[in-house]
Amino acid sequence: MNNHTTWRGDNVIQIKKPNILFIMCDDHASHAMSCYGSKINATPNIDRIANEGIRFDNCFCTNSICTPSRATILTGLYNHLNGVKTLDDCFDGRQLTFPKLLQQEAYQTAIIGKWHLGHGGESDPTGFDYWNVLPGQGDYHNPEMNEMGESKICDGYVTDIITDKSLDWLISRDKDKPFLLMCHHKAPHRPWEPDIKHAHLYEEIDIPEPETLFDDYANRASAADAATMRIGRDLNKRDLKEDLPEGLSPKEVVQWKYQRYIKDYLRCVASVDDNVGRLLDYLDEDGIADDTIVVYTSDQGFFLGDHGWFDKRFMYEESLRMPFIVRYPREIEAGGVCDFMALNVDFAETFLDYAGIAIPESMQGHSLRPLLRGENPDGWRTSMYYRYWMHCAHHWVYAHYGIRTHRYKLIYYYADPLDANGAVQDPKYPEWELFDLAKDPYEMNNVYHDPNYSVTVQELKKELDLLQWKANDTPYVFV
């Protein structure tokens, strides 16, 4: 028996521990993936994972912003417990993470690409035999990378480089041991700089506009109108890369900027898609596709002109939803779609389960393995808890928490920085929003004050209290 296998109980059934290839992009919204029905692009290589595996249609992040989501994925904890509530919080690498546990169980572990969990010695990756990461946000072209503490400039385009280094590591691994490789792309994060190969993609066409591009933020709490992430007003010269043509009407300005923004975003995605194909091809060539769990996801969703916005942070659908597709031929049937709610707080537990490692009591999520197998587990969650802490930072989004069920979403903009690092000391008067997603999937009409929904509001508030209590978080008290 080599280290790649384990024995279950007294049985003499030899079970091979699966390899785990976790591919995560930064800000890749599911509505820019053709396997999720994108109306604006095609992602044939990423789609292979969904077509040969399973697609989750209700995977949500618990705090829609980069660094906190990454901390949750590693720890299986909500942000108030893993210490990374905002972009300005530094990750304490001493805490328990799933890569550490896999490493202890004879997995080879590596992270290559975006780390984005703070600068300085205490936030270097831990639990990895090999790491080679971008400092901070990293650059698209000729990026600096930090390889095990040594800084180097790498020639080329960041998505290609991260894939090249991932392939190098895979090729040189010990084939007698299972592996965990976290391949974390910078793309398609702002400022959306494409590579030369895709620089002219979509040049001759107009990308379709989202239904809510001209949202006027009526019938909502004041948070939506206050946010400074509007396509028409808040994209800067670095984002747009070209000067605005003269003589455009206000509506035409929004349309022109949307095209500039979305085309570069989709060009960055196209490069990711090509590079996902390279990794999948390697698994085939090496004969390990059947033994490897391949995950494709993003640290959160993103507004692709939806509500007239770019960026994320809000609990609204486009930002809340994470793409989550998984292929593992030994256990997952091809072509599945799962409607159960999955959360980023479940990822760590899922990988531990597949590796045959006991899930620590302290972790707050649940293994998704039954869902991935296509089962309908009794008592699975029907609601989820969300909290965004970074009040008014960067894009002036108010601090909020809330609950989403399959039908409703209740959001409480408590709008207070509290003690969160990087939050702006400018509290606002608290407000609530309720959306009936069955009637209003684009969340354009807040029905919180509609008497027809008063019973629903009371029920959802009770459920919110319960979820917050279960998550060990503290309610906001307005004084």
Which residues form the interface with Ca ion (CB under 5 A)? Answer: 26-27, 66, 299
- Rank residues 360 and 422 by Cβ distance to Ca ion and give the closer one: 422
**Token representation of residue 388:** 């965004």
Do residues 271 and 197 make contact, with C-beta atoms less than 8 angstroms apart?
yes
CA nearest neighbour of 448 among 211, 245, 192, 219: 219
Angle between helices 250-285 and 158-171 (to 10 degrees): 10
Which residue number, 73 or 457, has a Cβ lying nearer to Ca ion? 73
Taking the complex as a whole, how short is the minimal distance between the CB of residue 302 and Ca ion, in angstroms? 8
Q: Can you tell me whether residue 148 is helix, strand or coil?
A: coil
Q: How far is the CB of 28 from Ca ion (least distance, A)?
A: 9
- C-beta closer to Ca ion: residue 27 or 274: 27
| Nearest to Ca ion of 344, 367 (CB atom) | 344
Closest by CA to 398, choosing from 234, 174, 203, 221, is 221
Residue 238 beta carbon to Ca ion: minimum distance, rounded to whole angstroms: 18
Nearer to Ca ion by Cβ, of 71 and 170: the residue is 71
Chain mean position to CA 399: 19
Which residue, 61 or 368, is less far from Ca ion as judged by CB?
A: 61
**Parallel, antiparallel or unpaired: strands 14-16 and 292-298:** unpaired
Please report how close the Cβ of residue 189 comes to Ca ion at its closest, in angstroms.
Answer: 6
- Rounded distance, CA 272 to CA 422, Å? 31
Q: Whose CB is nearest to Ca ion?
A: 66
Rounded to 5°, the CA angle 407-410-415 comes to 155
Cβ-Cβ contacts under 8 Å for 285 (sequence gap 6 or more): none
CB of 299 to Ca ion, least distance (A): 4
Q: Distance of alpha carbon 89 from its chain centroid, rounded? A: 18
Give the end-to-end CA distance of the chain in Å, rounded to a whole number.
63
Its sign, for the CA torsion 77, 166, 64, 48, is negative
C-beta of 184: minimal distance to Ca ion in Å?
10
Angle made by CA atoms 298, 301, 305, in degrees to the nearest 5: 135
Nearer to Ca ion, 185 or 307 (CB): 185
272 versus 357: smaller Cβ distance to Ca ion: 272
Rg for the chain, CA atoms, rounded: 22
- Establish whether the linkage from the previous residue to 125 is cis, with ω within 30° of 0: no
Residue 310 CB, nearest distance to Ca ion (Å)?
A: 12
**For Ca ion, the closer CB: 69 or 212:** 69
Task: For the CB of residue 116, give the shortest distance to Ca ion in the complex, in Å.
Answer: 8
Contact in structure between 141 and 193 (CB atoms under 8 Å):
yes
How far is the C-alpha of 275 from the C-alpha of 13, rounded, in Å? 37
Of the pair 26, 443, the CB lying nearest Ca ion is at: 26
- Closest approach, Cβ 380 to Ca ion, in A, equals 27
* Shortest Å distance, C-beta 321 to Ca ion: 13
> How many C-alpha atoms does 418 have within 13 Å on its Cβ side?
18
Q: Which lies closer to Ca ion via its Cβ, residue 273 or residue 299?
A: 299
We find the least distance from the C-beta atom of residue 117 to Ca ion, in angstroms, to be 12
According to DSSP, the residues that pair with 421 across neighbouring strands are none
Judged by CB, which is closer to Ca ion: 66, or 112? 66
Helix axes 347-354, 66-75, angle to 10 degrees: 30
Tell the smallest beta-carbon distance from residue 277 to Ca ion (Å). Answer: 22
> How far is it, in rounded angstroms, from Cα 19 to Cα 290?
9
Query: Partners of 16 in the beta sheet?
Result: 5
Residue of 148, 152, 141 lying closest to 191 (CA atoms) = 141
